[in-house]
Amino acid sequence: MIHLYPFNIPFKDTFKTSKGNFEFREGILVSFTHHSHRFFAEISPLPGFSVSDLESCTNIFSTNASKIDEFLIGILNNHDGDYEIHSILEIVEKTALLTHKWIKNELPTQLIPEIQFAIDHIIFQILAARNTSESMIPADLIIPINANVKTLMEATNAYKSGIKTVKVKVGMDADHESSLIKNIRDNLPDISIRLDANGAWDFKSARSFIEQVQSFDIEYIEQPVSIQEFREYGPRLRNLGIQIAADESARSYLDVVTLIDNNSTDILILKPPMIGNFKNLLNIYELALRSNIPCVFTSSLDSSINRRFAALLGFVFGSKKLAHGFGTGSLFKSDITILNDNIQNGNLIVPISGISVAEINSRFISKTIC
């Protein structure tokens, strides 16, 4: 049986980006229960970034809940106990095959990416339920656009704990942001610094800012211009001396084909819930691999449910040389899971089998909407 639980988790401080401010993160916790089995997933489209909104996701999932439930029960009955686990990649490939066939044959409409991802997440947990191993992935520390003196202290403490990369949100006040970046570089000369503008600039402004921070040894700048300008100016941006990463411009397989054909990006930023089902993720990964373009996986300010699973996918499909964007759990006052993310020496440790009901904060599964 499927149940949907609304959730709202507040940030410690207002999280500011060039696209808007966030006081909290809201979404739906999906619970699938059958006999003694219970699995959790998350649906949480990010306002201003996702193609849909929470209300639409809720309505579509509720409308199709009985079909989804029937499908998941079938997967559980057919594969519980008789599926030999060889690797995470194999589980992802098996999940992609099962879900793609079902969506194509059984559903009248295409599902929103975040819903597809939640379904695939549950199937992955069914297939991996007997896998007791863990994976680990290097995480970065995210610094919001409203950073101040306190930020440098946080970055310093993170560096001392093993975090080797910080991501600084930029795109609103070039002089302030440039000063902050210089401060971090002067005090932490060995740390990697990456920037994220969320498409805030036009080409001229992006070029001006890149020139301003050129001497600070920036790892890359993420989505410096809008999706449209990325298509037009991507190759020219790459010639300005700092690597360019595509985020909002890399949401689908066709997006990535266009980026590669136009020689527009050095790095792909992948947010699994926004990509949707595993088949899309596998297609993007294989194309990036053939094109020798590294993939950096990040959360989309998700709760611990999606954050930890996206990190697991990043462990398999992401770059082995770059940190990934999963240090965002520290931004929240509380989370869906009781315990904080297990970050050791800069690496997020993630169990392959998923999150058990014992790990869920009970207040998040007390009020159901479906």
Residue 188 backbone dihedrals phi, psi, to 5 degrees: -130, 75
In DSSP terms, which residues pair with 268 in a beta bridge? Answer: 246, 295
The answer on 124 and 21 residing in a single domain is yes
Tell me the β-bridge partners of 201.
225
Whether 176 contacts 145, CB under 8 Å? no
CATH of the domain at 267: 3.20.20.120
CA distance 135 to 133: 7
Distance from chain centroid for Cα 73: 27
Report the C-alpha gap between 203 and 182 in whole angstroms. Answer: 23
**Same-domain pairing of 227 and 129:** no
Q: Rounded to 10 degrees, what is the CA torsion of 201, 10, 50, 115?
A: 160
Q: Same domain for 67 and 148? A: no
Same domain as 149, residue 129: no
Same domain, 220 and 277: yes
Whether 217 and 339 map to the same domain: the answer is yes
The 10 Å CB-count burial string (b at 16+, else e) for 71-110 is bbbebbeeeeeebebeebeebbebbbebbbebbeeeeeee
pLDDT in tens, 41-91: 999 999 989 989 999 999 999 999 999 999 999 998 887 554 555 688 888
Domain contains 340: yes
- Phi-psi domain of 252 (left: phi exceeds 0; alpha: psi -120 through 50; beta: other): beta
Q: Is residue 120 part of a domain?
A: yes
**Distance separating alpha carbons of residues 200 and 209, to the nearest angstrom:** 11
Rounded Cα–Cα distance for residues 337 and 192 (Å):
30
Examine residue 240 and state whether it is found in any structural domain, yes or no. Answer: yes
pLDDT for 199-224, tens place per residue?
Answer: 999 999 999 999 999 999 999 999 99
Domain that holds residue 54: 2-133+357-365
- Three-state secondary-structure class, residue 137: strand
Percent of the chain's residues with pLDDT above 70: 95
Check residue 100 and give its pLDDT.
82
Residue 370 included in any domain: no
Residues 308-320: tens digit of each pLDDT: 999 999 999 999 9
Measure the CA angle with vertex 200, ends 302 and 179; round to 5°: 95
Q: Are residues 60 and 124 in the same domain?
A: yes
Residue 339 pLDDT: 87
pLDDT in tens, 18-31: 888 899 999 999 99
- Number of domain units in the chain: 2
Phi, psi values for residue 269, rounded to 5°:
-100, 120
- In terms of domains, do 59 and 157 share one? no
Maximal C-alpha separation, the chain: 60
Same domain, 58 and 149: no
202, 272: one domain: yes
Kind of pairing between the strands at 267-270 and 295-297 = parallel
